[in-house]
Amino acid sequence: MIDVRNLDVRFGQGAGALHAVRDVSFSVAQGESFGLVGESGSGKSTVLRVLAGLNPRWTGQAALAGMPLGPRDAPLPRLVQMVFQDPYASLHPRHTVDRALSEPLEIQGIGDVGPRVERALADVGLGPAFRFRYPNQLSGGQRQRVAIARALMLEPKVLLLDEPTSALDVSVQAEILNLLRRLRRAHGLTLLLVSHNLAVIAHMCDRLAVMNRGAIVEEMDVATLRRQEPREAYTRQLLLASRGYDRDVAAGIVTYD
Amino acid sequence: MDQPLLELDNLRVDFHTPTGIVHAVRGLSFTLGRERLGIVGESGSGKSMTGRAILDLIPPPGLVTADRMVFRGQDLLTMDKRERRKLRGRRISMVMQDPKYSLNPVMRVGEQIAEALRGKGPGVRRRVLEALEAVRIRDPERVYNLYPHEVSGGMGQRIMIAMMLAPEPDLLIADEPTSALDVTVQMQVLAILDDLVAKRGMGLIFISHDLDLVASFCDRVLVMYGGRVVEELNARNLRAATHPYTQGLLDSLPRIDDQREELPTLRRDPAWLED
């Protein structure tokens, strides 16, 4: 469903240029959930933005559902949609939930708007009472539910998720992760999830790739992650550091290039 | 026996708004020694307001009241504003979450730390360089002359900590000091705080939403919900938490090695808000 070969992304030119994504290749089967995990600056979000058509300058090959994607093409909105990290920033503050959810339908010329909006709200666990509210009348978790509903309005095959729960409290994170798992089953979605949180990736994904400084360090299945048996030293350090504070681990931290 | 560093009894923070009074902190009491105390809670639990109230940084219409608020034997409630301001930054400092918003963007890093030391001259420059070295910045001479936008998030947070620690405070309040950082950088920053508590005998209040992190780093943990402490725990016994809120929070966290299909979600009981 998703196929990326030798993807390279550079920002800027000359001495100040940043090689943000280096020769990244991976593929995700239909209905699979794939995780990209890494620290800030590892390039994981940039890969996602390339697939969403938000980052037009790249080289390499990318294909969604067998259709090749060029650097200047916007991917088909009915094929792929994205959910962003910060639900406070990704909804228009002066648009009601109804408007946010109807807009994709109107742009695509899809009728039957009212019932579709109500169904979408019910699908993400929000009652019809939420339809005419503004974002400032919603909690962070409710906003993220609206953002997920908006992404599903056009019934895409692929959902790109960029740190969908890292701005939320842990109890709300659990609700959103449960919702995403349920929606994935119900709609047969293919998920590409970017996160810095290994536990979230372990909970949500079948396979994952670990990124560092723009490149994929290693790819593994979730069983390997759960057994905490990665191949690479970089991943082992990431796993150790995720377990909480430990004096000895802190003293042994090294930087990997 | 040492006198306690900080004694708080029945601390309340209320916001008088046009639509009514919002009780942000509702009767918080604790005594802090030279230890690492964690305060854990979700957004709106009152944990940050507690830190700010101790520093007298609650903006109007917020109102801070307490039956007792004593720092090293000095009564903070009867102290005048000027005296209180003298404590702030010198004896009690605070590190906040995001160095991007806490550092002055148009002032060199070294000059900002010198300002915190309230001094000038060659002696001050040496003390600034020492402060940068204490937070394991490798090339302090170079970093001294950088502007905040020229440093990474982890470096920025170390600079903040260096600045807050340069006057050698007795008490450091750290409000989500590592939440914006990568896990490996977070570990290094915590190791620096750990050393400073051990070496200088400083008291630390560590405010965070991250239960596991606080439990692994602190000696004692207060769990806050709705402006109140619902449970106090020895950090080593986090798993022995008995309050349903604490248990619910711990259960709702995904774990690397678990295979639960569905994560249990928290059912909030209105009784948790009552005494």
> pLDDT tens digits for B23-63?
999 999 999 998 999 999 998 899 999 999 999 999 888 99
Pairwise CB contact (< 8 Å): A170 & B187: no
- Which of the residue ranges A101-105, A156-160, A187-191, A246-250 would you say has the lowest mean pLDDT? A246-250
Pairwise CB contact (< 8 Å): B263 & A178: yes
Q: Where in chain B is CATH 3.40.50.300?
A: 1-91+187-275
- Which of the residue ranges A3-7, A107-111, A177-181, B222-226 would you say has the lowest mean pLDDT? A107-111
Token digits of residue B54: 């101790």
Interface of A with B in 111-140 (CB under 8 A): 140
Nearest residue on chain A to B187, alpha-carbon basis? A250
Q: What sign has the CA pseudo-torsion B148, B152, B157, B163?
A: negative
The residue ranking higher by pLDDT, B79 or B152, is B79
The DSSP bridge partners found for residue A69 are A62
Query: How many angstroms separate the CA atoms of A250 and A190, rounded?
Result: 37
Using one digit for the tens of pLDDT, what is the confidence trace for B13-29? 999 988 889 999 999 99
| Interface residues from chain B to A (CB-CB < 8 Å) | 42-43, 153, 182-184, 186-188, 190-191, 194, 209, 211-213, 215-217, 248-249, 252-266
- What is the CB neighbour count within 10 angstroms for residue B91? 16
pLDDT at B1: 47
CA distances (Å), A44 to each of A65, A94, B207, B274, in order? 21, 31, 29, 45
Of A181, A199, A247, nearest to B191 by CB-CB distance is A247
Give the gap in angstroms from C-alpha B51 to the nearest C-alpha of chain A. Answer: 19
CB A43 within 8 A of CB A213: yes
Give the gap in angstroms from C-alpha A46 to the nearest C-alpha of chain B. Answer: 17
Phi, psi of B72 (to 5 degrees): 45, 50
Angle, alpha carbons B22-B25-B30 (nearest 5°): 170
Residues of chain B found within 8 Å of residue A224, distances taken between Cβ atoms? none
pLDDT at B120: 66
Superfamily, domain B1-91+187-275: P-loop containing nucleotide triphosphate hydrolases (3.40.50.300)
Taking the model in full, what pTM does it have?
Answer: 0.88
Query: How many angstroms separate the CA atoms of A230 and A239, rounded?
Result: 9
Overall residue count recorded for chain A in this entry: 257
**Bridge pairing between strands A80-83 and A33-38:** unpaired
Nearest residue on chain B to A199, alpha-carbon basis? B256
How many inter-chain contacts (A to B, CB under 8 Å) are there?
Answer: 99
The average pLDDT across B222-235 equals 94
Of B183, B252, B261, nearest to A242 by CB-CB distance is B183
Q: Which residue ranges make up each domain of chain A? A: 2-219
Pairwise CB contact (< 8 Å): A245 & B249: no
For residue B240, with 0-12 CB atoms within 10 Å meaning exposed, 13-18 middle and 19 or more buried, which class applies?
A: exposed
Query: Which amino acid is residue B218, in one-letter code?
Result: C
Stated as kind and residue range, the H or E segment containing B232 is: strand B228-234
CB A200 within 8 A of CB A165: yes
The average pLDDT across A93-101 equals 95
Overall residue count recorded for chain B in this entry: 275
Q: What sign has the CA pseudo-torsion A247, B213, B217, B187?
A: positive
**Bridge pairing between strands B6-17 and B20-32:** antiparallel
Residues of chain A found within 8 Å of residue B266, distances taken between Cβ atoms? 171, 174
Pairwise CB contact (< 8 Å): B216 & A247: no
Pairwise CB contact (< 8 Å): B184 & A253: yes
Using one digit for the tens of pLDDT, what is the confidence trace for B150-190? 888 888 888 998 898 888 899 999 998 888 788 888 898 89
Query: How many angstroms separate the CA atoms of A256 and A237, rounded?
Result: 10
The average pLDDT across B192-210 equals 90
Q: What is the DSSP string of A141-188?
A: HHHHHHHHHHHHTT--SEEEEESTTTTS-HHHHHHHHHHHHHHHHHHT
Q: Does A13 touch chain B (CB under 8 A)?
A: no
| CATH number for the segment(s) A2-219 | 3.40.50.300
CB A245 within 8 A of CB B184: no
User: Average model confidence (pLDDT) for chain B?
Assistant: 89
- What is the CB neighbour count within 10 angstroms for residue B123? 10
Q: ipTM for the complex?
A: 0.84
Using one digit for the tens of pLDDT, what is the confidence trace for A174-219? 999 999 999 999 999 999 999 999 999 999 999 999 999 999 999 9
Q: Does A250 touch chain B (CB under 8 A)?
A: yes
User: Average model confidence (pLDDT) for chain A?
Assistant: 92
Residues of chain B found within 8 Å of residue A199, distances taken between Cβ atoms? 253-256
The average pLDDT across A167-171 equals 88
Query: Which amino acid is residue B265, in one-letter code?
Result: T
What's B272's DSSP letter?
G
Query: How many angstroms separate the CA atoms of B206 and A226, rounded?
Result: 30
Pairwise CB contact (< 8 Å): B254 & A203: yes
